[in-house]
Amino acid sequence: MSAEKLDKSKTLFLRKKHVGPSCKIFFSQDPIKIVKAKGQYMYDENGQRYLDCINNVAHVGHCHPDVVQAGAEQMGTLNTNARFLHDNLVLYAQRLQATLPPALSVCYFVNSGSEANDLALRLARNFTGHDDIITLENAYHGHVSSLIDISPYKHHQLPDAELRPSAPSPDVYRGRYRADHPDPAAAYADDVRELIDRAHEKGRKIAAFIAESLQSCGGQVVPPAGYFQQVAAHVRRAGGVVIADEVQVGFGRVGSHFWAFQLQGADFVPDIVTMGKPIGNGHPMSCVVTTAEVAQAFASSGMEYFNTFGGNPVSCAIGLAVLDVIGKEDLQGNAVRVGQHLSDLLEALKRKHPLIGDVRGRGLFIGVELVKDRLTLTPATAEAQEVIYKLKEEKILLSADGPHRNVLKFKPPMCFTPEDAELVAAKLDPVLTGTGPAPFTARRSECRERSQQEDGEHLRRTCSATFTLTFLPVIWDKPVCRVFAPEAERRASAASRRDRRSSSSQRSQTHPEGDKLRDHTCLRLTSDRLALLASSRLIAASDFYVTAREF
């Protein structure tokens, strides 16, 4: 008998009544009721089709017939626990290990990414005899207690939370060491070494360093090349092991490699790898793979490890089918081709829309960071939410994440096509055109002092003419605005030529900003300099706008 069919309002009512309120739903202001899916598309109760750019769980496509058939046939034959001998378990372990470096040869099958990471911590602590775990800022590794403690991402919403020390996210766009740093990989790795040193000073020892090979919830962060090798050297020197969390990014999603940790190079091999989500294409399944040495130490602890459903015949049949489809349909190659095409389209939008600060990622794992200003990198959090809701109206499903919730996350099913990428870009373009901070206009008669204290920093500005203001972060005692003046640049350049013909340099001598303005369309000014520049009539106030702290 099929389940009772409910109208959307009844479904929503029952969810609110019977499901925990902390269990959030996509598009909570206007949730979608999804009733079926196929490939990269999802359908609501009215038959409306949505392009799914969110779902890295349905890795080879929603309801792939080969995967469905494999699970149904095995379920109709046998499903039992792994204490019975069965071919599916060993054949799947053999196939999975063949995708990994030879040293990673022993599998433990479990049912979710959280289970996998929890078991990885047990393996690490048992093998090293140490207790401390180093994680990254903005990391998320699962919902069980052992993992919430090392998932700073989950604590951002708790203003008084006491977090364990974590290493800076190796983000070369927004982080401590950026793309212009001479060696960001070494600098970020040194931060991990400093955490190790501080732990040792307190008499504590490091069991493991755990990180997603590419941070997902942390904002689609791609670590600089060589980062993990140097971190591994520091951690292993301290007697710890390295855990690569591939729950979000494994199984060919990055395109060029089957596992995202392999992006760092063949000379980096983790001691433990965890996987989940795409492994079963939506079927609850996950795995921990480690070295023979770590596995033997776990076995020698005297405690048997058993998991009722981990590695059952149905799960392994589904896992085998997923690997078959990845190979048969060249989905890893598709991630390279379509991922590059999508990245190119997004880069083109970046050149057109100042709201896009960065486009980054690998394969079909791409992040688009929205900022209010490309110099200050003020997160465009509200704008990101506006974008995903407007795209939903265009029948495209996308999410925003990162510590500031301002990174658009593209991680669609791997059957995503070039036409899908083009549709997304075509829909995103007008959405970005209509999205952005509303300008504030201050006229001479209305100008007055404004001030605000935020995070111990003060802003005080004065106005002396007509400006269009888009407020962005500044620090008191530093320049409080940036002037964008393309038209004023043209006028100032023409004035400069006239000045040279008349051998007059008085204006430039009086107003040094004038020389800068002739060479640049953007400069930084203090409020008094801005007033002087405007009142001097060097440029017309209507020709430019300034940016300052949001208030």
pLDDT tens-place string over residues 455-470: 333 232 323 333 333 3
Q: Number of helices and strands (H, E) in the chain? A: 16, 21
| Residues in Cβ contact with 371 at an 8 Å cutoff, skipping those fewer than 6 apart | 355, 356, 357, 358, 377, 378, 379, 380, 406
What is the mean predicted confidence (pLDDT) over 122-132? 97
Tokens of 232: 């591994």
Return the top range by mean pLDDT from 199-208, 491-500, 526-535: 199-208
What is the mean predicted confidence (pLDDT) over 13-24? 92
What pLDDT is stored for residue 504 in this prediction?
Answer: 37
Q: For residue range 179-233, what is the model confidence (pLDDT) as tens digits? A: 999 999 999 999 999 999 999 999 999 999 999 999 999 999 999 999 999 999 9
* CATH 2.60.120.1360 is the classification of domain 26-55+331-434: no
What pLDDT is stored for residue 115 in this prediction?
Answer: 96
Q: Helix 313-328 to helix 65-75 angle, to the nearest 10 degrees? A: 160
What is the mean predicted confidence (pLDDT) over 346-352? 97
Between 345 and 454, residue with greater pLDDT: 345
What pLDDT is stored for residue 99 in this prediction?
Answer: 98
Domains 26-55+331-434 and 69-327 share a fold: no
What pLDDT is stored for residue 147 in this prediction?
Answer: 85
Following CA atoms 215, 130, 291, 259 in sequence, which dihedral angle do they give, to the nearest 10 degrees? Answer: 0
Mean pLDDT of all residues belonging to the chain: 82
What pLDDT is stored for residue 446 in this prediction?
Answer: 31
In the chain, domain spans? 26-55+331-434, 69-327
Percentage of the chain exceeding pLDDT 90: 70
What is the mean predicted confidence (pLDDT) over 117-129? 97
Q: For residue range 242-292, what is the model confidence (pLDDT) as tens digits? A: 999 999 999 999 999 999 999 999 999 999 999 999 999 999 999 999 999
Q: Does position 549 have pLDDT exceeding 70, yes or no?
A: no
Place of tokens 């292993």: 236
What is the mean predicted confidence (pLDDT) over 391-407? 96
Of 456, 453, 451, 436, the residue nearest 545 (C-alpha): 436
Q: What pTM did the predictor assign?
A: 0.79
Q: Please, are residues 111 and 82 in contact by the beta-carbon 8 Å criterion?
A: no
Q: For residue range 49-82, what is the model confidence (pLDDT) as tens digits? A: 999 999 999 999 999 999 999 999 999 999 999 9
What pLDDT is stored for residue 4 in this prediction?
Answer: 60
Considering the four listed CATH numbers 3.30.500.10, 3.40.50.1010, 3.40.640.10, 3.50.50.60, the one that applies to the domain covering 69-327 is 3.40.640.10
What pLDDT is stored for residue 538 in this prediction?
Answer: 40
What pLDDT is stored for residue 3 in this prediction?
Answer: 56
What pLDDT is stored for residue 157 in this prediction?
Answer: 56
Place of tokens 């359908």: 43
**What's the one-letter identity of residue 85?**
L
Q: Does position 438 have pLDDT exceeding 70, yes or no?
A: no
Tell me the residue length of the chain.
Answer: 551
What pLDDT is stored for residue 5 in this prediction?
Answer: 86
Q: Does position 339 have pLDDT exceeding 90, yes or no?
A: yes
